Structure formats: structure tokens, C-alpha cells
Amino acid sequence: MKSVSSKQLTLLISLVITFVSFLYWLIDFFLITSWWIGILWISTVFIVSYFTIRYILNHFIYDKIKPIYKSIHDINIKNKLARNQAEPTDIIAKVKNEVTIYSEHKTQEIEQLKEMERYRKEFLGNVSHELKTPIFNIQGYILTLLDGGIDDPNINNLYLERTEKSINRMISIVEDLETITRLEAGELELKFTNFDIIGLVADVFEMHHMRAEGKQISLKFGTGAEKPIKVNADKRRIFEVVSNLVINALKYGKPKGSIRASFYDMDAYTLIEIKDDGIGISPENLPRIFERFYRVDKSRSREEGGTGLGLSIVKHIIDAHNQTINVKSDINRGTTFSFTLNKSTKK
């Protein structure tokens, strides 16, 4: 009975009633010997019973499932016409299907909410941890100065300089968080212009030249850098993307290693690749490297400085350009970040 539709059930009941009527007519036939009256009687009983039972059955089923449809679809059927339009051929099967889909959808929503809650807790923990370090440093330096250190020429300027560094770190964290929030909310307006991506990468290399020399890491151009390549994007934001990728490569690079920028023609797009030969990233860490405050090597990251938000900002900026960014890495062999940009339409 679970797979029987309302039409089939109606037909079955109507046939039973008609059969009973036929038996009644057979008994009565011996008293009234008229075939046409019997046929008319049986036909009338079948037609009337079929449509009457179907109307009552559908009306009953509809009244029972209407609250379910309201909870799932939030529909409000106000008149008979809307009811007829909403009524399916097999209403029981459709309701079962709708409830199954609804249940699966809600299960997915619950799992997503649990994941978001986990991420929220982890994010709040990371924010508090990142801010706690400079705050406690500032507190320690200020208390030392208040306790008489301000009069000691050996430490007063040193502690004030360290306090300034801690304050600057807090400012960097807040500014980076604000940037990510604005990017996620779509409030950060991108200013698209046509520019030479190779020239931009050269400017980034120049800016980080001293730091690279200090770590004995060479900054090089690879494939596709022989001539200018025009792209259409927000130049300032893409400069930030390349800069963050180079900084990340410098953090995890090996002495006497290299960072190489290559460019590839992808029809309507240009693929930019920043590759290093540093310590690499383990496979279990790769899916999370674009998360806020996520650090592959926490102790080394903090020694090198930074807010832990660089790669998250990179991902958000590329997403805001409706482009893609990918990463591949091998332990002790290096990491490669690659992202796409639209080519300039102007020659």
C-alpha cells in the first residue's frame, strides 16, 4: 500500500463498490428482468463512486499534507484554483520526495553551521592570541618604564622602540582584518586599469631586494618575462598580492635559494607563477593555508614577523577579480603559487 497512488486507491475502492452493486443487481435481476436497467445502474454506481471517492480522498490527503508543504515551501494556497495547480499526479510520492529533499538540505545546513561555528571559535582564538602577544609586550615595557626605567638611558629608548614595534604590529593586524572584511562584504571597490604585470613584479622584487640579500635568496624571472605583458586588474591590489607571495617565499626560503616569477599565455588570461625552492608545505596543511592566521610553522612565522593574514588577503583579492589561485608544494623542494588575470583588451 505504500506505493499505491491516490488514483489507484480510488479505482480499487470504486471497483469494489461496483462489484458489490453488481452482486446486488444479480440478486435483484431475478425479480426485474431488464439488462439495460442493470447496465445503467452499474455504470452510474461506478462513475459516481469513482469521482466522489477521488474528491473526498484527495481533499483528505491535501488537508493532511498542506502543513508539510507550508513548512517546506512556505506556500499559502488561498483558493481552489491554487490547490488544483499545487496538487501533483501522485501527491503522496511527491510529498515523500519533497520531505526527503528538505531533510537532506537541512542536514547539510546543520553541518555547515557546525563548520562555521568551529571556524568562528578557531578564528576568535587566533585573533586573541595574535593580539595578546603585542599587548603583553607593550604592558611589560610600559610598566618597566613607569617603575623607574624611564630614567635609565640604557633601556628607556630601547623599550620605547620595542613598544612602537608592538603597536605597529597591532595596527597591521587590525588593518589586514579590515581589508579582508571589506573584501568579503564587497565594499572594497577595485579600480581596474591596464598595466604591465612584469614591470609590477620587478617593482616588488626591488622593494624586497635588501631582505632577499640578507637571506641569500635570489629573485629571478623565469618563462615568459622576455617582453611586457599587459593585464587588466586593480594594480595596487595585485601589487599587494605579489608582494605577499614574495614575502611568504622569503619567510620559508632556504639560504642560497631562489624565488622565480614566470608568466604563461592562457588565451584570454595570463597565468602568473611565483615559485620558491624552500621548505615546502605538507599535504595536510595545503587546504588551510588561505585561512586567516593559519601558519604552517607557527614558531618560524612569528620570528619572521607578519600578521598571519597575508595569504588570506591574497585569496580574497584574487576572488574579488573573479580569478583563481592555486598552490602546489613538495616538502623540502619548494612551493608554487599561481593565479590568473585578465589580459588587457587594449594593445
Q: Give the residue carrying C-alpha cell 620559508.
A: 252
Look up residue 318 and give its three cell numbers.
584574487
Tens-digit pLDDT profile for residues 272-314? 999 998 888 888 888 878 876 666 655 444 455 555 677 888 8
Tens-digit pLDDT profile for residues 179-226? 777 777 766 788 899 999 999 999 999 989 988 988 899 999 998 988
Q: Give the residue carrying C-alpha cell 623607574.
A: 148
The reply to whether the predicted model has a pTM over 0.75 is no
Q: Any bridge partners for residue 269, and if so which? A: 266, 342
33-42, 126-135, 146-155, 322-331: which range is least confident on average? 33-42
Which residues have C-beta within 8 Å of that of residue 243, sequence separation ≥ 6?
Answer: 204, 207, 208
CA atoms within 13 A on the CB side of 55: 7
How high is the pLDDT of residue 232?
A: 94
Q: Which of 169 and 308 is assigned the larger pLDDT?
A: 169
Q: Report the distance separating Cα 274 and Cα 310, nearest Å.
A: 15
Tens-digit pLDDT profile for residues 65-102? 666 555 555 544 444 444 444 444 555 566 667 777 77
Assign 3-class secondary structure to the chain: CCCCCHHHHHHHHHHHHHHHHHHHHHHHHCCCCCHHHHHHHHHHHHHHHHHHHHHHHHHHHHHHHHHHHHHHHCCCCCCHHHHHHHCCCCHHHHHHHHHHHHHHHHHHHHHHHHHHHHHHHHHHHHHHHHHHHHHHHHHHHHHHHHCCHHHCCCCHHHHHHHHHHHHHHHHHHHHHHHHHHHHHHCCCCCCEEEEEHHHHHHHHHHHCHHHHHHCCCEEEECCCCCCCCEEEEEHHHHHHHHHHHHHHHHHCCCCCCEEEEEEEEECCEEEEEEEECCCCCCCCCHHHCCCCCCCCCHHHHHHHCCCCCHHHHHHHHHHHCCCCEEEEEECCCEEEEEEEEEECCCC
- Length of the chain counted residue by residue: 347
**Environment class of residue 230 by beta-carbon count within 10 Å: exposed (0-12), middle (13-18) or buried (19+)?**
middle
How high is the pLDDT of residue 282?
A: 83
Q: What percent of the chain has pLDDT over 90?
A: 20
Question: In terms of Cα–Cα distance, which of 275, 166, 185 is closest to 223?
Answer: 275
Q: Report the distance separating Cα 337 and Cα 316, nearest Å.
A: 15
* Residue 231 and residue 197 in contact, taking contact as beta carbons nearer than 8 Å: yes
Over the chain, what is the mean pLDDT? 76
How high is the pLDDT of residue 221?
A: 94
Q: CA-CA distances (angstroms) from residue 32 to 17, 29, 201, 258?
A: 21, 5, 106, 110
* Residue 54 and residue 6 in contact, taking contact as beta carbons nearer than 8 Å: yes
Phi, psi of 295 (to 5 degrees): -125, 130
All domains in the chain, ordered by first residue: 6-87 (no CATH), 117-185 (1.10.287.130), 192-343 (3.30.565.10)
How high is the pLDDT of residue 82?
A: 43
Confidence grade of residue 26 (pLDDT, cut at 50, 70, 90): low
